[in-house]
Amino acid sequence: MKVIATFLLTLLTVQFLLAQPHATVPLLLTDRITVTVHPGIELLTIVQLLAGKYPQPNKSSYAKETEAYFTAFAHHPAVQLARRLPKVYTDLPELGYCLENFPEVRLHYPAQTNWYTMNGKDTIQTYLRLCRQFSQDSRFWAFYQHHQADYAAWAKPVHARLASEGLVAKLDSFYRFRTKAAHWTICLDPLNSWGAHAIIANNLNPRYAD
């Protein structure tokens, strides 16, 4: 399902991610749309980047700050395991949905995921534990909090365009949601220069049953 959401993330976010000014407004929420930088996804993306298992991000001040902040952890056990995983793809960071309650991170192991099939269940669960440890050791949450204003500034125009162009209604129609109004979360991925995909979050963590 890698390209289903490409028109949302690629067309709507890339043009905003590198040039938006700082802002102090919170990430925007409506009853049906959330636009956010998900901390778990961002964490796993950073681990893969350090492991050399992720396409290099577009040049930006955010990418520079990320590299400067986390380079000291390039040999962390999480990064070392990422280098050894047999099958690592750009959508592996979707497992960030298994991590919640930052900064005191709780970890949920999905009952089943294709990542178990490709890399082994024990290996993936170990990887998630090590990524949680990476978050603590690197003080990831401090970095994430420091950039809240950036995330909010990038979210604002994306949210506005989703609303003004009626794209959520088009998503409802595409997925044939007829009997209920689905809640949509658009995860901005500022270190991703590759593309986008749809995440079925409740398959990864029952907390996201809606």
Q: How many residues appear in the chain?
A: 210
Q: Which residues pair with 162 in a beta bridge?
A: none
Q: How far apart (Å, rounded) are the C-alpha atoms in residues 146 and 186? A: 21
pLDDT for 26 = 36
CB 14 within 8 A of CB 207: no
CB 128 within 8 A of CB 99: yes
* This prediction's pTM: 0.82
Residue 158 in 3-state DSSP? helix
**pLDDT at 196 exceeding the cut of 90:** no
**pLDDT at 83 exceeding the cut of 50:** yes
**pLDDT tens for each residue of 148-160:** 999 999 999 999 9
What percent of the chain has a predicted confidence (pLDDT) above 70?
83
pLDDT for 106 = 95
Written as six digits, the tokens of 135 are 């978050």
**Amino acid letter, 10:** T
**pLDDT tens for each residue of 56-70:** 999 999 999 999 999
Question: Smallest Cα–Cα separation from 73: which of 2, 10, 136, 157?
Answer: 136
pLDDT for 132 = 98
**pLDDT at 24 exceeding the cut of 50:** no
Written as six digits, the tokens of 98 are 């298994």
Where is pLDDT greater, at 6 or 154? 154
Read off the pLDDT of each residue in 91-109 and give the average, rounded to a whole number: 96
The continuous run of DSSP H or E covering 186 comes out as: strand 184-187
